[in-house]
């Protein structure tokens, strides 16, 4: 069972990855990055750092206010809101932490490493100043990935909502049948 982080984390990170060909080749093998040119990926690397976490370490803390977005390179992360697990991400290239970058609000969830995990963290603060000529290319690429991720999550949420609506209709129908047949005397139903 995963323990809450203790504050004694041993996260390791690289410096900014500008012109790092080894990382460029690694990212090109990840599906979400295959649509981008080498120049686009190099724009990511200008503001990116590889970060490595051990199981149980905190990647994002709820309430923090920062401008970092993360791509899962390897490992597994758990996204937690309160005591509820919101999602577990395992796939290379999965994106998380984007909501704070989009709206500037404090983090709404915490993210913990479930196993040894490597992420590409992108520092999206002051992009125009830091990237100069590449700022627009980078912003386009990042927001395209954000849009794809949000569309995928919305599609999943729609499917879950449809399932729940279908189940609720079945239960309502069953309750109505029970009432009609006299098999239900109490109005309280435990579902």
Q: According to the model, what pLDDT value does residue 2 have?
A: 46
Which of 32-46, 54-68, 107-121 is predicted least confidently?
32-46
Residue 155, number of CB atoms within 10 A of its CB: 10
3-state secondary structure of 55: coil
Query: What is the assigned CATH class of domain 12-145?
Result: mainly beta
Which of 20-24, 48-52, 114-118, 164-168 is predicted least confidently?
20-24
116-136 mean pLDDT: 75
In whole angstroms, give the CA distance from residue 36 to residue 25. 12
Extended beta strands in the chain, E state: 12-13, 48-53, 58-60, 68-74, 77-81, 84-89, 95-96, 110-113, 117-123
31-41 mean pLDDT: 79
Whether 152 shows a pLDDT value over 60: the answer reads yes
Mean of the per-residue pLDDT values of the chain: 79
What is the pTM for the complete model shown?
0.67
Q: According to the model, what pLDDT value does residue 63 have?
A: 94
Whether 178 shows a pLDDT value over 70: the answer reads yes
pLDDT in tens, 57-106: 999 999 999 889 898 988 999 999 988 998 899 877 888 988 887 788 99
Whether 45 shows a pLDDT value over 70: the answer reads yes
Q: Which tops the pLDDT comparison, 15 or 114?
A: 114
The dihedral of CA 81, 9, 127, 106: what is its sign?
A: positive
């Amino acid at each position: 069972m995963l323990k809450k982080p203790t504050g004694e984390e041993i996260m390791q990170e690289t410096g900014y990855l500008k012109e790092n060909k080894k990382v460029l080749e690694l990212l090109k093998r990840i599906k979400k990055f295959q649509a981008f040119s080498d120049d686009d990926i190099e724009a990511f690397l200008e503001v990116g750092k590889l970060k490595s976490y051990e199981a149980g370490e905190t990647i994002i803390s709820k309430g923090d206010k920062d401008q970092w977005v993360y791509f899962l390179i390897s490992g597994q992360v758990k996204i937690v809101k309160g005591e509820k697990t919101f999602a577990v991400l395992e796939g290379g290239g999965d994106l998380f932490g984007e909501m704070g970058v989009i709206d500037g609000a404090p983090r709404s969830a915490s993210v913990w490493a479930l196993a040894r995990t490597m992420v590409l963290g992108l520092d999206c603060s002051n992009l125009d100043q830091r990237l100069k000529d590449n700022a627009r290319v980078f912003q386009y690429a990042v927001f395209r990935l954000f849009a794809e991720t949000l569309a995928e999550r919305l599609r999943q949420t729609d499917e879950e909502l449809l399932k729940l609506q279908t189940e609720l209709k079945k239960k309502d129908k069953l309750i109505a049948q029970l009432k009609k047949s006299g098999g239900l005397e109490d109005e309280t139903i435990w579902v």
